[in-house]
Amino acid sequence: MADYQIINPFGGDLIEEYDFAGREAVDCAIDRLVEGRAVQAAMPAWQRSDILMRLSGLLREHADHLARLITAETGKTISDSRVEIERACNTALASAMEARAITGEALDSDAYPPQRERIGVVLWKPLGTVMCITPFNFPVNIAVHKIGPAFAAGNTILFKPGPQNKRSAEFLVDLCYRAGMDPGVLQMLIPDIPATSHAVAHPQVHAINFTGGTAAANAIAAAAGYKKLLFELGGNDPLIVMEDGDLEGAVHAAINQRFATAGQRCTAAKRVFVQRGVYEAFTARLLDATTSLKVGDPMDEETFVGPLIHTAAADEVHGRIADAVARGARVLSGHRREGNILWPTVIEDVPDDAPLVADETFGPVIPLRPFDTVDELVTLANDSPFGLQAGVFTRDLSLARSLFNRLDVGLLAVNDGPGFRAEHFPFGGVKESGVGREGVRYAIREMSFQKTLVI
Ligand SMILES: NC(=O)c1ccc[n+]([C@@H]2O[C@H](COP(=O)([O-])OP(=O)(O)OC[C@H]3O[C@@H](n4cnc5c(N)ncnc54)[C@H](O)[C@@H]3O)[C@@H](O)[C@H]2O)c1
Ligand SMILES: O=CCS(=O)(=O)O
C-alpha cells in the first residue's frame, strides 16, 4: 500500500494514493534550488513582476478547475473554493505590484558625530532559499501568499503542501512554471516527517515560512536551528457584540466567519461574546440564520456547510461538543452528524475551561458567552494562549480604540468579524498565534535581509 491516500472527505472515495518523498529527493531538490539562485540573481525585478502578473491571470483562467480540485480534496464548499481562488489571484497580483516596488532608503552619517561625510544606501536582498510549508484549509491562497512574496523578493523556493493537497498544489506549481518561473527557482515535494525535518534543518535552506498548527511549529522550530522562522499558527478569535452594535451585521459576520469552510479557518469567529442587554435578541437572530443554511454535498453550489477534512477531525469536534454538554452546556441548534459533516451548532453555557472554547476548535460551532462590562470582556478575550485577530460590533469609536489597545491580537476589525483579511494588509498574530507577518509587502520583507552600501 502507498504511504498516503487522498480520500474525498465527502463520500470517502479514494482520489489518489502516493508515496512520500525521501531524504534523497529532498537533497536533490535543494541542490537544484541552490543552482537556481543564479537564475533569480540574473532576473530584474520587472521580470519577476511580469511572471507574477501572468500567474495571477493563469489562476483566473483556471479558477473553475482549481476550485473543483480544492473541493474534492478538502470538502470545502465549491463557493468557498471559488472565493479562495479569487483571493489567490489578488495575492499573486499584489506580489507582482510589490515586486516592482521593493525599495530601500538612504541614510546620512551626519546624524551623529564624528563627522564622516558618508551616505548609507540600504537595500533589501533575498535570503537565498525559503522552505514554504502549508496547511490543508486554504491550499492555494496560502501557498500563493508564500510563493508570490518569496519569488518577488528574489529567493528560490522549496514548497511543501499538506499531503491531502497534492493535486491542487501540483496544478498551482504547473501554473507557476507556465507563468515563467524556472524549475530551479521553485520545487515542490511532499516528504514524510523525518525527510521534512531533514529539509527544515538543511544548511542551504535559509528560512522556513510555515502556516499550520502548534505541534508542527514546535517540531519545525526544534529542527530548524539558527535560521529565519515565519510562523502563522492557530487562533481562538473573539467576535464581540456590544449593546450598541449592529446586530444584523454581527449575525452575518458570525455565520460567514464561523460556518464557512466548516469553521476550519485560523481566523474563524471561534468565541462569540455578546453583551448581556442584546444577548437574547442576538441569539434569536443567529438561530434563525443558522437553521436556514444548506448543509451537505460541497460540490453543490447552494451548500454553505460541507464536511470536515477527515473523520478524526469530525470525531474531535463532535466529542468536544459532547464534553461541553456533559459539563452543563446547552445546544441551541445543530450537534447533528452524518459522516464527516457536522451541522452548524450554536451552544451556550459552555464553561470557560471546556476544551471546546479553551482550545482552538476547528469546526462549525458557535459558543455564545454573555458578558456585562468591558473589563470582564477583555479578561475573557485575552484568556487564551492564542492572539490572532478579533472583531467588534459597536458604534462607539472610543471603545473601539480602547479595545485596540487592550486586546492581545494582530488585528482588530471594527464592525466586522475576526475573519477579516485583505491580502495586502499585514497578517499575523501575537502569543502562540505566530511569529512575523504575512501580507504581501510584509512577507517580502520577512523573506529578505537589509544590506547596506556605505559611500
Ligand atoms: N495563522 C494562519 O495564517 C493559519 C492559516 C491556516 C491554518 N492555520 C492553522 O493550521 C492548523 C490547521 O491546519 P493543518 O491541520 O494542516 O496543520 P498542521 O500543522 O497539521 O499541518 C500544516 C503543515 O505542516 C506539515 N507538518 C505536520 N507536522 C510537521 C512536522 N513535524 N514538521 C514539519 N512539517 C509538518 C503538514 O504536513 C502540513 O503541510 C490550525 O491550527 C490553523 O489555525 C493558521
Ligand atoms: O485559515 C486562515 C487563512 S485566511 O483565510 O485567514 O487567509
Q: How far apart are CA 190 and CA 74, in angstroms?
A: 17
pLDDT tens digits along 344-396: 999 999 999 999 999 999 999 999 999 999 999 999 999 999 999 999 999 99
Question: If you average pLDDT over every residue of the chain, what do you get?
Answer: 98
Residue 425 burial (CB < 10 Å; 0-12/13-18/19+)?
A: middle
Q: Is 210 in the pocket of ligand 2 (CB under 6 A)?
A: no
pLDDT tier at 4, thresholds 50, 70, 90: very high
CATH of 4-233+433-454 among 1.20.1630.10, 3.40.50.300, 3.40.605.10, 4.10.780.10: 3.40.605.10
pLDDT tens digits along 148-170: 999 999 999 999 999 999 999 99
b/e per residue 179-196 (b: at least 16 CB within 10 A): bbbbebbbbbbbbbeebb
Residue 451 pairs in a beta bridge with: 123
- Which atom of ligand 2 sits closest to the CA of residue 421? 6
Instruction: Report the complex ipTM.
Output: 0.97
pLDDT tens digits along 285-314: 999 999 999 999 999 999 999 999 999 999
Using the mean position of ligand 1's atoms as its centre, give its distance from the Cα of residue 401 in Å: 33
CB 300 within 8 A of CB 294: yes
- Which atom of ligand 1 sits closest to the CA of residue 428? 1
Indicate which ligand has the atom closest to the C-alpha of 418: 2
- Strand pairing report for 129-133 and 156-160: parallel
Nearest CA to ligand 2 atom 6: 267
pLDDT at residue 355, rounded to an integer: 98
pLDDT at residue 243, rounded to an integer: 98
pLDDT at residue 278, rounded to an integer: 99
Residues with CB under 6 A from ligand 1: 133-138, 142, 160, 162-163, 193, 196-197, 211-213, 216, 219-220, 232-235, 266, 360, 362, 388, 434
Which class does domain 238-422 fall in? alpha beta
Nearest CA to ligand 1 atom 10: 212
pLDDT tier at 74, thresholds 50, 70, 90: very high
Using the mean position of ligand 2's atoms as its centre, give its distance from the Cα of residue 266 in Å: 6
pLDDT at residue 95, rounded to an integer: 99
Q: How far apart are CA 450 and CA 123, in angstroms?
A: 6
- Within the chain, which residue ranges are assigned CATH 3.40.605.10? 4-233+433-454
pLDDT tens digits along 8-28: 999 999 999 999 999 999 999
pLDDT tens digits along 323-335: 999 999 999 999 9
Mutate to test the pocket of ligand 2, among 142, 146, 257 (most ligand atoms within 8 A of CB): 142
Q: How far apart are CA 249 and CA 37, in angstroms?
A: 49
Indicate which ligand has the atom closest to the C-alpha of 429: 1
Using the mean position of ligand 1's atoms as its centre, give its distance from the Cα of residue 348 in Å: 29
pLDDT tens digits along 125-150: 999 999 999 999 999 999 999 999 99
Query: Rounded to the nearest 5°, which phi and psi values hold at 226?
Result: -80, 95
Cis amide prior to 344 (ω within 30 degrees): no
Report, as residue numbers or ranges, the catalytic residues.
232
Residue 117 burial (CB < 10 Å; 0-12/13-18/19+)?
A: exposed
- With pLDDT > 70 as the criterion, what percentage of the chain qualifies? 100
Residue 16 pairs in a beta bridge with: 6
Residue 240 pairs in a beta bridge with: 273, 392
pLDDT tier at 2, thresholds 50, 70, 90: very high
Using the mean position of ligand 1's atoms as its centre, give its distance from the Cα of residue 166 in Å: 15
Indicate which ligand has the atom closest to the C-alpha of 20: 1
pLDDT at residue 116, rounded to an integer: 96
Q: Which residue has the cell 491580537?
A: 409
Max Cα distance, the chain (Å): 76
pLDDT at residue 353, rounded to an integer: 98
Q: Is 350 in the pocket of ligand 2 (CB under 6 A)?
A: no
- Within the chain, which residue ranges are assigned CATH 3.40.309.10? 238-422
pLDDT tens digits along 209-239: 999 999 999 999 999 999 999 999 999 999 9
Using the mean position of ligand 1's atoms as its centre, give its distance from the Cα of residue 227 in Å: 19
CB 304 within 8 A of CB 83: no
Using the mean position of ligand 2's atoms as its centre, give its distance from the Cα of residue 117 in Å: 48
pLDDT at residue 98, rounded to an integer: 98
